[in-house]
């Protein structure tokens, strides 16, 4: 595998290196100390300031003409919090040439709160454990060992945006390593000023007994294990089929670049497909731009739970270092993530991004029943993924590239439920599900919004909606079984504010390129599970995430429009985001466009989701729609040319000779006997093995 891996010089879209982060921090610190006299600065974000599309194109053209004579422009973008003055700044730093770094801009952004910091979580925990009012309230509940108190800090989204506020939720561990979520401490309302790191108010609203210790919930790491699972090995003895050059990946006609940042985590750039020797662009940039988790239980403290896990916390900042054999199975290539902590130190997450191939069943198959001739091809796909933990939940984000041209994006949800205590004899009454003694998990939703900057055969694209319909009663339908599809094109942002419906999908086309049948070349966005928000439009939840009222939005490309809910979501008050931008009702026909799509799940909890939730999946697909002249999967080699034949499951060694071969073996041998109708040698060889 290693001969396929090469290191390349920095590309304009590459992740910032540790050295670049250090140089950017040095310049920013000097600027704030000398100019603003702000010694208590905190780096809420620091990463690549993405260059314009034109700059990237000019660099790549120059690099192609002279591979050794071109340096790319590198810039860093930072959001800096002055804790003493309680002010927020956006800073752009030029990073080259080395030794001549400089501030390009430093802008004060009034009335906003940037994302929470990991140090704020830690400091808040220490504050809670030592505050006399909190200690007294816990003592009244019989809690004296505060080392067993677990604290989750949620943003104060109902608070004054001028004050940086947190609302800690408290839990009691039965012992040091126990699952804290099995024993919530209810009824204590705590408001914390996160800038001054002091408690504003402690109120005891009500008292609910703490759930008793639970042998299932507390001991989730040490429950008895089943037996009988044999090792499952994924091997590629001849190496992998992909190539990595720096952050550039190529595999089976696909090409893309891998990026990573604190807000979105994994970002894919410049996705293209080589068709008949021509590299055809599809997406310039793709990412999960936001994730919202609103809870439906109106009781305290669950009505306070409304998380923007990307914008308030950071999908990338909370990413895992992945482990071979656990997170990823097979021949794996890993990318490290280079970020910055709140004090400006480089923070490296080793093996944050996983790249590998996996088998995906049959790609296509057909048998001519008249002649008995048949052909089949196996499918495989390239997987790019990362995992992140935000408080109790763990999320995996996966992008799949297939041999038939399909791109699939998938969110995987696991981890531990956010829980509440309930009194003896009470039930959550539909607002939750009982999962243990005096313990329930409230109903909630997960919304994932992707930002898809399309570039189908070039910059100028349009979006169409396709609906399948029945004929009207007065139309010709003699057998009452007719149905057909209609296509409508969106010309303005208002027209493109759409929701899902039966048999509806959207098509992103280039109006200027056509396949051999005269159809405009495009890509089909096939919706997956797409919940509707149940919170009312006037709720604070929807006011913050007003873009959830539509499953689909389309906007003209604007580099400033990065996130669907806006740039600052902690205690958000500013009217920005998709619902605000699209009021201009701009043109989206035959121009550079961005498609925003939201998918997700409504989680009515089951007892089986406890103590650690089995993986839940939700996804959507992008499929070529008249982009090719015919199926791009037709040139995939026959089985046997890309891998060894499948192993036949032989009967156990102690099976008597006169017993029939088990059904699984018989079925396997029959399938393999007919693997290639025209290759008698395969049939003879397999019979010899049996």
**pLDDT of 568-612, one tens digit each?**
999 887 678 999 999 999 999 999 999 999 999 999 999 999 999
Strand bridging mode 5-6 / 243-245 = parallel
CA angle 390/249/21 to nearest 5° reads: 55
What is the per-residue pLDDT for 641? 58
Q: One of 309, 313, 394, 453 is an active-site residue; which one?
A: 309
Q: At what angle do helices 132-139 and 118-130 cross, to 10 degrees?
A: 60
Q: Which comes out higher in pLDDT, residue 476 or 508?
A: 508
pLDDT-based confidence at residue 222 (cuts at 50, 70, 90): confident
193-202, 379-388, 534-543, 640-649: least confidently modelled range: 640-649
**pLDDT tops 90 at residue 661:** no
Residue written as token pair 């017993």: 659
pTM across the whole model: 0.91
**pLDDT tops 90 at residue 471:** yes
CA atoms of 250 and 257, how far apart (whole Å): 9
What strands, in cross-sheet order, belong to the sheet with 102-108?
41-48, 75-82, 87-94, 102-108
Nearest to 387, CA basis, from 490, 314, 316: 316
- Please indicate whether residue 393 is annotated as part of the active site: yes
**pLDDT tops 70 at residue 107:** yes
Residue written as token pair 């982009």: 627
CA atoms of 198 and 584, how far apart (whole Å): 43
The reply to whether 2-108 and 118-221 are identical in fold is: yes
What is the per-residue pLDDT for 71? 82
The two counts, helices (H) then strands (E), for the chain are 9, 32
Residues in a beta bridge with 623: 524
Q: What are phi and psi of 126, to 5 degrees?
A: -65, -40
Local structure of 67: helix, strand or coil: coil
pLDDT-based confidence at residue 221 (cuts at 50, 70, 90): confident
Q: What is the CATH number of domain 247-360+383-418+443-459+489-606+615-625?
A: 2.70.98.20
What is the per-residue pLDDT for 663? 37
What are the structure tokens assigned to 656, written together?
Answer: 């008597």
Nearest to 53, CA basis, from 541, 586, 455: 455
Structure-derived torsion over alpha carbons of residues 184, 186, 188, 192, reported in degrees to the nearest 10: 40
**pLDDT tops 90 at residue 258:** yes
Instruction: Evaluate whether 219 touches 238 at the Cβ level (below 8 Å).
Output: no
Local structure of 27: helix, strand or coil: helix
Nearest to 648, CA basis, from 636, 662, 629: 662
User: pLDDT, tens digit, for every residue of 78-95?
Assistant: 999 999 899 999 999 999
Pick among 3.10.450.40, 2.40.40.20, 3.40.250.10, 3.40.640.10: CATH of 118-221: 3.10.450.40
**pLDDT tops 50 at residue 182:** yes
pLDDT-based confidence at residue 34 (cuts at 50, 70, 90): confident
Whole-number Cα distances in Å, 292 to 59, 310, 312, 450 = 37, 8, 10, 12
CA atoms of 292 and 446, how far apart (whole Å): 6
- Please indicate whether residue 309 is annotated as part of the active site: yes
- Percent of the chain exceeding pLDDT 70 equals 91
Average pLDDT over residues 238-245: 96
Average pLDDT over residues 154-159: 85
Instruction: Evaluate whether 78 touches 28 at the Cβ level (below 8 Å).
Output: yes
Nearest to 342, CA basis, from 165, 117, 126: 117
Q: Which comes out higher in pLDDT, residue 684 or 71?
A: 71
What is the per-residue pLDDT for 302? 96
CA angle 254/337/616 to nearest 5° reads: 70
**pLDDT tops 90 at residue 654:** no
CATH top-level class of 2-108: alpha beta
Nearest to 382, CA basis, from 287, 249, 289, 278: 249
Burial grade of 673 (CB within 10 A; 0-12, 13-18, 19 or more)? middle
pLDDT-based confidence at residue 267 (cuts at 50, 70, 90): very high
Average pLDDT over residues 195-204: 95
User: pLDDT, tens digit, for every residue of 316-336?
Assistant: 999 999 998 888 888 999 999
Average pLDDT over residues 459-474: 95
CA angle 84/88/94 to nearest 5° reads: 115
CA atoms of 551 and 599, how far apart (whole Å): 7
User: pLDDT, tens digit, for every residue of 353-383?
Assistant: 999 999 999 999 999 999 999 999 999 999 9
Residues in a beta bridge with 525: 506, 622
Average pLDDT over residues 458-484: 94
Overall size of the chain counted in residues: 690
**pLDDT tops 90 at residue 127:** yes
CA atoms of 621 and 110, how far apart (whole Å): 40
Residue written as token pair 């009781």: 299
Ramachandran category for residue 128: left, alpha or beta (phi over 0 → left; psi -120 to 50 → alpha): alpha
Q: What is the mean pLDDT of the chain?
A: 90
SS3 assignment for 324-385: ECCCECCCCEEEEEEEECCCCCEEEEEEEEEEEEEEEEEEEEEECCCCCCEEEEEEEEEEEE
Nearest to 400, CA basis, from 354, 448, 362: 354
Show me where the domains of the chain are located. Answer: 2-108, 118-221, 247-360+383-418+443-459+489-606+615-625, 650-690
Q: One of 273, 295, 333, 393 is an active-site residue; which one?
A: 393
**pLDDT tops 60 at residue 257:** yes
């Amino acid at each position: 595998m290693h001969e396929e891996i090469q290191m390349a010089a920095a590309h304009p879209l590459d992740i910032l290196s540790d050295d670049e982060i250090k140089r950017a921090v040095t310049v920013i610190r000097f600027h704030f100390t000398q100019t603003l006299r702000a010694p208590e600065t905190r780096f809420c974000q620091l990463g690549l300031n993405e260059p314009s599309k034109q700059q990237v194109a000019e660099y790549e053209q120059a690099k192609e003409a002279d591979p050794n004579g071109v340096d790319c422009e590198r810039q860093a973008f930072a959001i800096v919090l002055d804790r003493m003055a309680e002010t927020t700044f956006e800073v752009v730093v030029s990073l080259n040439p080395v030794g001549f770094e400089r501030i390009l801009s430093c802008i004060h952004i009034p009335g906003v709160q940037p994302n929470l910091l990991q140090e704020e979580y830690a400091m808040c925990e220490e504050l809670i454990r030592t505050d006399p009012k909190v200690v007294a309230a816990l003592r009244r509940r019989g809690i004296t060992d505060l080392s067993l108190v677990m604290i989750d800090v949620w943003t104060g989204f109902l608070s004054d945006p001028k004050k940086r506020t947190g609302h800690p939720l408290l839990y009691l561990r039965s012992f040091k390593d126990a699952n804290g979520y099995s024993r919530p401490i209810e009824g204590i309302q705590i408001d914390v000023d996160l800038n001054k790191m002091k408690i504003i108010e402690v109120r005891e609203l009500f008292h609910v007994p703490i759930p008793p210790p639970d042998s299932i919930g507390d001991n989730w790491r040490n429950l008895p294990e089943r037996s009988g699972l044999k090792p499952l090995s994924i091997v590629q003895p001849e190496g992998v089929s992909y190539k990595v050059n720096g952050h550039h990946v190529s595999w089976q006609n696909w090409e893309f670049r891998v990026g990573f940042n604190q807000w979105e985590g994994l970002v894919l750039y410049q996705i293209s497909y080589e068709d008949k020797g021509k590299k055809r662009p599809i997406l310039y940039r793709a990412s999960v731009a936001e994730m919202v988790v609103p809870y439906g239980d109106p009781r305290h403290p669950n009505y306070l739970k409304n998380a923007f896990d990307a914008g308030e916390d950071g999908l990338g900042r909370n990413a895992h270092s992945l482990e071979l054999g656990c997170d990823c199975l097979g021949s794996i290539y890993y990318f490290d993530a280079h970020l910055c902590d709140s004090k400006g130190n480089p923070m490296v997450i080793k093996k944050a991004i996983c790249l590998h191939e996996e088998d995906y069943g049959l790609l296509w198959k057909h048998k001519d029943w008249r002649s008995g001739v048949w052909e089949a091809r196996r499918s495989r796909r390239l997987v790019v993924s990362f995992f992140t933990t935000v408080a109790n939940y763990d999320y995996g984000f996966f992008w799949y590239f297939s041999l038939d041209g399909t791109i699939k994006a998938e969110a995987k949800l696991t981890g531990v439920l956010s829980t509440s205590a309930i009194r003896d004899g009470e039930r959550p009454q539909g607002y939750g599900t009982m999962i243990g003694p005096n313990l329930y998990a409230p109903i909630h939703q997960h919304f994932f919004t992707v930002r898809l900057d399309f570039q189908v055969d070039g910059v100028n694209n349009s979006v169409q909606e396709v609906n399948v319909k029945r004929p009207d009663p007065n139309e010709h339908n003699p057998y009452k079984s007719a149905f057909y599809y209609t296509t409508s094109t969106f010309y303005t942002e208002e027209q493109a504010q759409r929701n899902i419906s039966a048999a509806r999908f959207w098509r992103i086309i280039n109006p200027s390129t056509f396949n051999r049948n005269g159809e405009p070349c495009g890509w089909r966005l096939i919706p997956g599970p797409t919940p509707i928000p149940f919170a009312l439009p006037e709720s604070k939840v929807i006011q913050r995430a007003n873009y959830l009222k539509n499953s689909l939005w389309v906007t003209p490309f604007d580099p400033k429009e990065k996130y669907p809910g806006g740039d600052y979501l902690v205690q958000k008050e500013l009217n920005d985001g998709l619902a605000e931008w699209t009021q201009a009702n701009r043109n989206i026909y035959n121009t550079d466009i961005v498609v925003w799509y939201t998918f997700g799940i409504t989680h009515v909890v089951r007892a089986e989701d406890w103590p650690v939730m089995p993986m839940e999946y939700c996804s959507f697909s992008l499929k070529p729609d008249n982009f090719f002249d015919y199926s791009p999967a037709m040139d995939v080699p026959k089985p046997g040319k890309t891998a060894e034949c499948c192993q036949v499951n032989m009967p156990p060694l102690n099976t008597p000779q006169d017993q029939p071969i088990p059904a699984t073996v018989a079925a396997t041998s029959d399938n393999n006997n007919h693997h290639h109708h025209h290759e008698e040698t395969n049939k003879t060889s397999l019979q010899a093995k049996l």
